[in-house]
Amino acid sequence: MGDKPLRVLACGDVEGRINALFNRVNAIQKKSGQFDLLLCVGEFFVNSPEAEAEWEAYKSGAKKAPIHTYILGAASQETVKYFPNSDGCELAENITYLGRRGIFTGASGLQIAYVSGREAQQEPAPSHCFTSKDITALVAPLLSNSKFRGLDILLTSQWPRGVWQYGNSPETDTKFCGVSSIADIADKLKPRYHFAGLEAVHYERLPYRNHVVLQENAQHVSRFIALATVNNPAKKKYLYAFNIVPMKNMDPAELVKQPQDVTENPYRKPMKDGKKEKPPPFMTGAEEEPVSQFFFDLGQNKPQHQQRHGRKRQTDGDRPNYPKQPRKPPQPTGPCWFCLASPEVEKHLVISIGTHCYMALAKGGLTPDHVLLLPIGHYQSVVDLASEVVEEMEKYKSAIKKLCKSRGQRCILFERNYRSQHLQLQVVPVLMEKCSTEDIKEAFMIQAEEQQMELMEIPAHTDLKQIAPPGTPYFYVELDTGEKLFYRIKKNFPLQFGREVLASEALLNIPMRADWRECKCTKEEEEDQAKQMRSNFQPFDFALDD
């Protein structure tokens, strides 16, 4: 095709609405002429009888896609069944599954890299997830070629973490949006266009540079475009049309032209000396620090035996005496605010550190004694925890419950395993005189019902793993009686739900504190609160006795 532009359509999550998508494509082509290919990101299928019947028509040949269509693989366990071969294959005439990850090069020379599914949060990875091995297999061969300058197109289902930095903001909660591994791929592979889905919003970021001005030769710019779900009721954009001449056929001067609205690269932090800081390594397989090395000075007035214990943990000569770890905790794929070894951790909030878990003051807490129980290693949820971590987590729960009881409080715990990457078990004490356990339970039930969510009561000693296999998004509350309320998250769960219920007029009556971002304190105030909480918790802190 020489340097003739290719006409390309990109689409967000189809979610089984295949007829609606192709009807729209037909209408566009009738009006604007034929396009060369359609690229679909996010979840193409959905598990429902109607969607299966719709798909069967294409699979059987009764209907045919009006354009060469390339799709990504499953982004959930429910849709894995639609993909018979993880290496990619033709699913129906004109509809091709690209594969788990790889490079697709068209006859025109257009180069497209793709990564299907979601980032794996545990090993072995579920079949709808990609791993560090997939990333290495994709990135390494390209970077080893000295002539590699970048890609034409990158297709991923998940967003790159932090893509909005230095640019315009998306209409979604960025706190839990995107993953660092995709950001790292985008930074290394320098796609001219990067498309993603799964967030149900349209977001067209300003173009960004791939070079440092005045320090490196000019390079082409990258454009990140997230697309909404097909036929979404809010009528958000789900199809994007563009012309592209493959990079290999372009005049170099034309390729590196910088548009007026270009921004800095969102994946690289500028350093004071003008150099660029390297993006954080992800899933590198590097040797992990032993859990027992993560130890911080929590204040001057600590019992001497804990300080000695802290130093002892860090002594190489003592290592043969460490208890053997049944398995190493998983590593984060990039910066994590809650991994204790991470520089991102706000260590002044830490209250107590055990061998596998720690306790920290909640940032922007509902009350001054609102704390988090967290694993030291990188685990996504309670159901992912190793047995020794579960055991210590239970010890922390028991200790904080004793503290609450001594202060005339009920201890309410909740966890949201949805759009979060590191387990945070929230612990909110509620004064017994303010409300009964039944009041708290009723408040959760009523507010869930108002939002069309069915909270399920599960017996006090039920193991969550029995009802929520690893990878299942869920929300659960544990009342002071040990009763648990559980909800399996389907879609669009309100991120502040647990806080909103507890802050409501029926319970703590502090509705203005439902969002933690509205409750920020100065660092000095946080330090004072943490010091007070440490003092309160000390008589119950089993970690001091180890």
Amino acid 84: pLDDT: 86
More confident residue, 460 or 56: 56
Complete domains list, the chain, with CATH: 6-256 (3.60.21), 347-540 (3.30.428.10)
Q: Who contacts 212 (Cβ-Cβ below 8 Å, separation ≥6)?
A: 274, 275, 276
Amino acid 53: pLDDT: 93
State both tokens at 326. 């049944």
Query: Residue 279 above 60 pLDDT?
Result: no
Amino acid 278: pLDDT: 43
Residue 102 main-chain phi, psi, to 5 deg: 160, -165
Tens-place pLDDT, residues 213-264? 777 888 999 999 999 999 999 999 999 999 999 999 999 989 999 888 889 8
Taking the C-alpha atoms of residue 149 and residue 248, their distance in angstroms, rounded to an integer, is 10
Closest listed residue to residue 64, CA positions, set 28, 90, 33: 90
Amino acid 294: pLDDT: 35
Closest listed residue to residue 150, CA positions, set 223, 233, 88: 223
CB count within 10 Å of CB 490 equals 9
**Rounded average pLDDT over 526-539:** 94
128 pLDDT tier (thresholds 50, 70, 90) = very high
283 pLDDT tier (thresholds 50, 70, 90) = very low
Q: Percentage of the chain with pLDDT > 90? A: 58
> What average pLDDT does the chain have?
85
Lowest-pLDDT choice from 23-27, 92-96, 108-112, 338-342: 338-342
**Rounded average pLDDT over 69-97:** 91
Amino acid 335: pLDDT: 67
**Rounded average pLDDT over 1-20:** 88
- In the sheet that holds 101-105, the strands lie side by side as 101-105, 111-115, 151-156, 191-196, 223-226, 203-204
Taking the C-alpha atoms of residue 137 and residue 145, their distance in angstroms, rounded to an integer, is 14
Tens-place pLDDT, residues 290-315? 333 333 444 434 333 333 333 333 33
